[in-house]
Amino acid sequence: MIEFLGAHVAVASPAAPGGEVTILEPTTLTLTEHRVAVIGANGSGKSTLARLVNGLVLPTSGYVRVNGLDSHDDGRAVRRQVGFVFSDADSQLVMPTPLEDVTLSLRRLRLGRREREERAREILDRFHLAHLADVSVHALSGGQKQLLALAGVLATEPQVLVCDEPTTLLDLRWRTHVNDLLAGLDQQLVHVTHDLEAAARADRVLVVDQAQVVYDGLPAPAVTFYRELMAQRSAAPGWP
């Protein structure tokens, strides 16, 4: 269960009125659904909302709790429970080969080297990446890199997975594959996406606009609301 209790994020900005810019207005939510999608325009605050969940961003005021653990006070414990996948897999993969990258994730489980490697090979096999275990990460395709990033995060068996636009850089084939994979996970999923088809498969959809959650409900009405909102924004004078 993920709880936002008046979570508010602001950054200091001397030029702004009041000396700060609000990135996310105070937000109170309880997410218990298996798959939650977050949609919104670029710069609306949806990534900040996602990053609050695993403590990558801490609330300026208010609280974020994951299964009762506070992201501020129990940061490490929260990060152990919440996996995070970014849109650019290239930045997320830190070791030279897929095997070594997944092995790195397993270090926190405090297993022996041989056991870590065996476990890493099993994980790569599960994601159909076993044949690429010793290939340079640099040589993988974008889709393979994103799949590997996902494998690296899921290797530690987090209870919650947050994905921040994981399919943005992928072609249709890989996008479908990754979305199918995410839909079939046992973990609770918070999926930030511009892909409205993927959002429509969620159990609950949050629409974020101008630093606040402006719609929270079932996928079909949420997507309709978002389309109308974007149509309004596009018709507004001064756009783009």
Partner 1 sequence: MHRLGAGWKLLALAAVSVVVTWTQQPVVAVCALGAAVAVLMVARVPLRATARTLAPVVVVVLGLGAYQWWARGWQDALVVSAGLLAVIGLATCLTATTRSDQLLEAMTRTAGPLRHVGLRPQTFALAVSLVLRTIPALIDLGWDVRDAARARGLDRSPRALLVPFVLRAVARAHTTADALAARGVLDDDDADSGDDSSGPRSDGGDDGVRAV
- Give the nearest distance from C-beta 42 to partner 1 in angstroms: 16
- Give the nearest distance from C-beta 117 to partner 1 in angstroms: 8
Closer of 116 and 191 to partner 1 (Cβ): 116
The strand pairing partners of 175, in sequence order, are none
Write out the two tokens for 49: 């909302």
- Give the nearest distance from C-beta 41 to partner 1 in angstroms: 19
Length of the chain measured in residues: 240
Q: Distance between CA 157 and CA 187 in Å, rounded?
A: 8
Give 171's DSSP letter: -
Q: How do 82-85 and 20-31 pair as beta strands? A: unpaired
Q: Helix (H, G, I), strand (E, B), or coil: what is residue 16?
A: coil
Q: Is 54 in the site for partner 1 (CB under 8 A)?
A: yes
Which of 40, 59, 98, 219 is close enough to bind partner 1 by CB under 8 A? 59
Q: Is 169 in the site for partner 1 (CB under 8 A)?
A: no
Q: With CB under 8 A as the contact rule, which of the stretches 26-34, 108-116, 122-130, 231-239 interacts with partner 1?
A: 108-116
- Give the nearest distance from C-beta 13 to partner 1 in angstroms: 11
Q: Is 119 in the site for partner 1 (CB under 8 A)?
A: no
Q: With CB under 8 A as the contact rule, which of the stretches 91-99, 173-181, 197-205, 229-237 interacts with partner 1?
A: 91-99
Write out the two tokens for 27: 């937000």
Q: Is 211 left (phi over 0), alpha (psi -120 to 50) or beta?
A: left
Closer of 152 and 219 to partner 1 (Cβ): 152
Q: Is 1 in the site for partner 1 (CB under 8 A)?
A: no
Closer of 138 and 227 to partner 1 (Cβ): 138
Q: Which of residues 123-152 bind partner 1 (CB under 8 A)?
A: 136-138, 152
For every residue of 77-130, DSSP letters joined together read HHHHHEEEE-S-HHHH--SSSHHHHHHHHHGGGT--HHHHHHHHHHHHHHTT-G
Q: Distance between CA 23 and CA 47 in Å, rounded?
A: 10
Give 71's DSSP letter: T
Closer of 46 and 215 to partner 1 (Cβ): 46
Which of 4, 27, 37, 55 is close enough to bind partner 1 by CB under 8 A? 55
Q: Is 58 in the site for partner 1 (CB under 8 A)?
A: yes
Burial class (CB in 10 A: 0-12, 13-18, 19+), 19: exposed
Positions touching partner 1 (CB under 8 A) are 9-12, 23, 48, 54-61, 72-76, 79-80, 83-84, 86, 88, 90-97, 99-100, 103-105, 107-108, 113, 116-117, 136-138, 152-153, 156
